[in-house]
Amino acid sequence: MGNLVIGVGNTGTNIVKLAAMSTLLDDTNYYAIDSVASSIDMGSLGKIKYIPIISDEKTGSGRDRERGRAMYEFHQNNGEFEEMYEEAAEAKSPVIVITSAAGGTGSGSVVPLCSKLIEKGISVIPIIICPNKKDPAAFHLNTSDLFIELDEIGITTYAVFENKKGDANYGPINQEVVTMIELLFGKKFDKTDLDSIDDSDLDKLIEMPGRIMAVEAEGATVDSLRKEITRKLFVGSQPMWKSEEVGEATLMTAFSLKSMFADVDFKSVFSEIDARIDPDQVFDNYRNIVKNDNDGILTASVIITGLPRSEIKEILNDYQGTKGIGDGVKRAKRPSFMSHKKATIETVTAEDGKDLINRFKWKK
């Protein structure tokens, strides 16, 4: 059986839709779980299995993680994920789970989902799309709680993307997530007589506890490719590591290059990245070197595992609700000349009612 990717919430579902269009991932199976039925794309039903988790008359979660989790667990208790869990157990390792950290459905559902997979002995890697540092506090409160809960259930290997620019269009980030999936599933490493990266190498890479970074770049020349792959790694949508944060952490790396003179160009293409990685902290390094005309294009990729968690924005404010509509308001005293008689209600009989109708010309 092939690999399995599960998208949770709106963000996870959108990335799964994009991944399903990749020809490199044709043997991958997909699930999309969301609390909004409108996320279902009829054109992708043949490739993606959609499971709506709408549990009452309302759709969505309102960015409420507790509601998102409750909806997922309601459907889980009703056995609606059993087929998905069976596929996960048979799928090629690891299972990828994608979610936004900021919303309610994805960040609430991903914890019981990953917990169940771990309980069944399935290797799972969450890919988490984090908010921009300038996003509202609610986004970051959800992110902090999500990270804590994933740690509590035993998640050790994961990936983080961040919308650093705060763009409304998540398309470029979503595509970078798909590229990471292609790299982690070994779909980007062509066969070669030189150094190669195979499935067993990738297994060792992702077994390393910590955060994963994976990027790919293209260039027309060695110089342009070196700049682009370095830029994507250090200032791209995956948060860069800081030397002081790495500390005593042990890293594993994988570099690949496909070009006409790959064996000659290899060292130069990755020179800037090598200069920023302490060799004493690298436990192992894998290389995939492919000499191929590649239509005149040079293609490189980098995978680094064992990285520390990226910085998150902690919200420590003590929020208070605003005053009620009547809080602090005193009843006004009116002058005596404005006093009004209390209204009285008089009852009338049926006959009196007829007289009133005739007097005021009311219609029955």
* pLDDT, position 163: 81
Is the previous residue joined to 94 through a cis bond, with omega within 30 degrees of 0? yes
Mark whether 60 and 131 lie in a shared domain. Answer: yes
| Domain's final residue, options 136, 152, 187 | 187
Q: Which of 39, 175, 28 is nearest to 105 (CA)?
A: 39
Domain holding 38, by residue range, is 1-187
**What CATH number should be reported for the domain holding residue 52?**
3.40.50.1440
Residues in contact with 344: Cβ distance below 8 Å, sequence separation at least 6, in sequence order: none
In a domain, 119, yes or no: yes
With vertex at residue 8, the alpha carbon angle to CA 91 and CA 153, rounded to the nearest 5 degrees, is 75
pLDDT digits (tens, 9 = 90+) for 27-54: 999 999 998 877 777 777 789 999 999 8
Mark whether 113 and 196 lie in a shared domain. Answer: no
Mark whether 222 and 135 lie in a shared domain. Answer: no
CB 121 within 8 A of CB 88: no
| Domain's final residue, options 296, 311, 326 | 311
Mark whether 173 and 237 lie in a shared domain. Answer: no
Give the C-alpha separation, 269 to 139, whole Å: 38
pLDDT digits (tens, 9 = 90+) for 271-328: 999 998 888 889 899 999 999 998 999 999 999 999 988 887 777 767 777 888 888 8
Its sign, for the CA torsion 213, 218, 222, 224, is negative
In a domain, 329, yes or no: no
Please, where are the H alpha helices in the chain? 9-19, 65-77, 82-90, 105-119, 137-152, 171-184, 199-207, 222-235, 243-246, 262-269, 271-275, 350-360
In a domain, 285, yes or no: yes
**What CATH number should be reported for the domain holding residue 292?**
3.30.1330
Mark whether 22 and 111 lie in a shared domain. Answer: yes
Give the C-alpha separation, 271 to 115, whole Å: 40
Total domains in the chain come to 2
